[in-house]
Amino acid sequence: MLTSFIETDASAASITTDGLLRQFGSLTALDRVTVTLPRGGVVGLLGPNGSGKSTLIRILLGLIPSTSGQATVLGHPTTKPARYAGDVGALIEAPSFVPGLSARKNLLSLARLRGLPATRVAEVIRIVGLEGRENESVRRFSLGMKQRLGIAAALLPDPALLILDEPTNGLDPAGIVEIRQLLKTLAAEGRTVVVSSHLLAEIQAACDYLVIIRFGELMFSGPMGELLDKAGARIEVAPEHPADVDRLRVALAAAGWSLEDDSLVVHGSAADAGALNRAAHEAGITLSRLTPIDESLEDVFLKMTAAPTRDPVAASQGARKKAATNA
C-alpha cells in the first residue's frame, strides 16, 4: 500500500486519515488510505469513477463509519461529527432546492433552518456571483447556476472547510472554468476547499494540493508541484550492448543522474542528451539511443489511475496485489 509522505504538521492539517478502510460486503471501497491534508488552499481529490472519492467524503462528513482506521476533520475525530459540523460546508450530491422559489428564498429558508442570520444570505449570493439573479426562480437556473447556489448553501455557516463532491459534473467547459475560478476565490479568502473530480484537467488549474486514489488505494498525495515534477522531462537511454544495462545504470547514477526504478529512464530534458552521452562514454559504454519522453500532467494522472479491469471487486483486489508487490 502506498502511504503519502507529507511532512505537514498534523495540528495544522485540515484533514487526516490513518489507515482508513471501508468495505461494502466483499468490495473494498477505500483501502487503508493515509493522508494529511494542509489547511488553506484548494485540495483536489481525484480518481476515476468508483475509486472511493464519495466514500471518503462521506466518512469525513461523519455520514458513514469506516470499517477500520481513523480520520480527523479540523482536529476532531470523524466519529464525533457534531464537533466540527458547524465549521464544514458540503455539497455532496446535485443540490436540491424548491424549484418554484427564488435563489434568495431558498437560501433564506436554509439559513433559518440552521439558525443562521438572514444577513448571511446576501453575502453568500455575492461570494458565488449570483448577484442580480437571486430573485429568479431556481426552476430557470442553468446547471452551473444551480451548482453555484449549492455552493452558496454550503457557505452559509461561513465554514473553514468546504467539501464539494464533483461540483463540475455535467457542466459545459465555460461552467467548469467558472466553478474553478470560484474555488480559487473561496480558498484565497482563507478556506480549505476539498473538491473531488474524476478528471484532472477539470480542476488542475485550481488545485494547490492533490490526492489521487484508484480503486480505493492512494496513488499520490502531495503538492501539485510534486506531480508536475513527476510529469517532468525524461530521456530513455539504451546501450549498444544489452549486457551493459546494469553498468550504465550504475555509471549514470554515479554521475549524478536520477533514474526511474529498474529502467534506463533518466530525469532530464533533450538538452541533457550530450551530457548523458558523455557520462556513458566515460564509463566506456556506447549509447545506441537517446529518446526524450514527452508526458503531460494528464498522461501521468491517467497512468496512475489506469484501470486494469472493469470489475470493481476484482480491480480492488488486483490493485492491492500490485501495490503489495511494489512495496
Chain residues in the site for ligand ATP (CB under 6 A): 24, 27, 29, 47, 49-55, 198, 312
Pairing of β 209-214 and β 41-46: parallel
CA-to-CA distance for 122 and 108, rounded, in angstroms?
Answer: 9
Is 156 in contact with 107 (CB distance < 8 Å)?
Answer: yes
Find the helix packing angle between 103-113 and 119-127, rounded to 10°.
130
Of 24 and 94, which has the nearer Cβ to ligand ATP?
Answer: 24
Of 216 and 268, which has the nearer Cβ to ligand ATP?
Answer: 216
CA-to-CA distance for 193 and 171, rounded, in angstroms?
Answer: 19
**DSSP label of 2:** -
Of 31 and 244, which has the nearer Cβ to ligand ATP?
Answer: 31
Residues listed for the chain: 327
| Cβ at position 267, least distance to ligand ATP in Å | 31
| Cβ at position 49, least distance to ligand ATP in Å | 3
* Contacts of 115 by beta carbon, 8 Å cutoff, 6+ apart: none
| Cβ at position 178, least distance to ligand ATP in Å | 21
C-alpha closest to that of 134 among 101, 166, 98: 101
For 60-116, the DSSP string reads HTTSS--SEEEEEETTEETT-GGGTGGGEEEE-SS----TTSBHHHHHHHHHHHTT-
| Cβ at position 121, least distance to ligand ATP in Å | 30
| Cβ at position 33, least distance to ligand ATP in Å | 12
| Cβ at position 221, least distance to ligand ATP in Å | 16
Of 24 and 225, which has the nearer Cβ to ligand ATP?
Answer: 24
CA-to-CA distance for 315 and 321, rounded, in angstroms?
Answer: 10
Of 52 and 268, which has the nearer Cβ to ligand ATP?
Answer: 52
- Sign of the Cα pseudo-torsion (295, 299, 300, 304, in order): negative
Of 8 and 55, which has the nearer Cβ to ligand ATP?
Answer: 55
Cell of 75: 482536529
Of 202 and 272, which has the nearer Cβ to ligand ATP?
Answer: 202
| Cβ at position 175, least distance to ligand ATP in Å | 18
